[in-house]
A = this chain, B = another copy of it.
Amino acid sequence: MSSKSIKVFAPASVSNVGPGFDMMGFALHTPGDEVTVKLTDRKEIRIVKISGDNGYLPYEIEKNTTTGAMLSLLKKYRINAGMDVFIHKKMGIGSGLGSSAASAVAGVFALNELLELRLSRYELLEHALKGEFIASRSIHADNVAPCLYGGFVLIRSYNPIDIIKIDYPDDLYCSIVYPNIEIKTSEARKLISKNVSMKKAIAQAGNASALIAGLITADYDLIGRSIVDYFAEPKRAALIPCYDDVRNAALEKGAINCNITGSGPSMFAFSRTESDARSIARAMLKAVKSAGFDGKTYVSKINKKGPVVLK
């Protein structure tokens, strides 16, 4: 074994991306989670410390997304090993930025590197999804897959799972505002109808297809007009009291478009330069504050790499 200890960063991710409900997402450079795994002589996994979570996350290894994902992998490959796990949350839980996905991905990625398992990302995916399931009680890969694979991903199919990496223009910046509003993923999911009109389903597929075309061909105008969501946004925007204000603020500053990430409350906006992205983020935060909430902002390009080992 190359080392007795490893520290991994796994990134936050924007999911849904407008028309890509439950099937598109992309990784960010910031924020993200750090997970450290140390081999020990005891034949058990334990969580030594969780920080940055305000006491929210469980230490029971089956109930924690990081160790839950790790246990799934260890069981499948019949690996017995003792490990101490340290989880440092550097992003909000329930932010809509794939917090639980990042924690799960960091765990399985760390194991793969530490034990030199040489598993592919596709082989790791199954276990990261099991970790994510612990938090969200549903299998959706639109945070786990971009976090694990990096870049912009399309989930073509869930059965079998089929992850497609999508090219995108290099000068595409993402501004994020995370308003201090609590939205539970499980509650936000309940708002989603079990059925949808054929008309909306066709319109959603049209915009999703067009967004993919816009990304691959670097057609910013097409990217902008394709970021329309008929499935989730009309219902979930109501959970974010400042939604319209934030969106309008982003568009006024020249954003390509702006929408909810995941089940919210965070919102993302695309632009073409870092300075635009910073001014858009500031305007979004200002709108959040004007509505009486506090919030945080992030500015990031799409993160091509996904998780990385930290020195």
Interfacial residues, chain A to chain B (CB-CB below 8 A): 19-24, 154-158, 162, 164, 166-167, 192-198, 200-213, 216-217, 222, 225-226, 228, 231
Min CB–CB distance A231 → chain B (angstroms): 7
How many copies of this chain does one complex carry? 2
Cα(A207)–Cα(B20), bound, Å: 11
A210 — which chain B residues lie within 8 A by C-beta? 154, 156, 162, 164, 212
Supposing A192-B198, A198-B196 touch, asked if A154 and B204 sit within 8 A by C-beta, the answer is no
* Nearest chain B CB to A205 CB, angstrom units: 4
Residue among A193, A200, A207, A209 with the most chain B CB within 10 A? Answer: A209
A288 to B245, CA, bound (A): 59
The listed residue (B154, B195, B203) touching A158 by CB distance below 8 A is: B203
A193-B228 Cα distance, complex, nearest whole Å: 23
Interface contacts beyond A162-B210, A208-B208: sample of 20 additional A-B pairs, CB < 8 Å, sorted by A = A23-B202, A23-B205, A23-B209, A24-B209, A156-B209, A156-B225, A156-B226, A157-B203, A162-B225, A164-B213, A192-B198, A196-B196, A196-B201, A201-B201, A201-B205, A201-B231, A205-B205, A208-B209, A216-B216, A216-B217
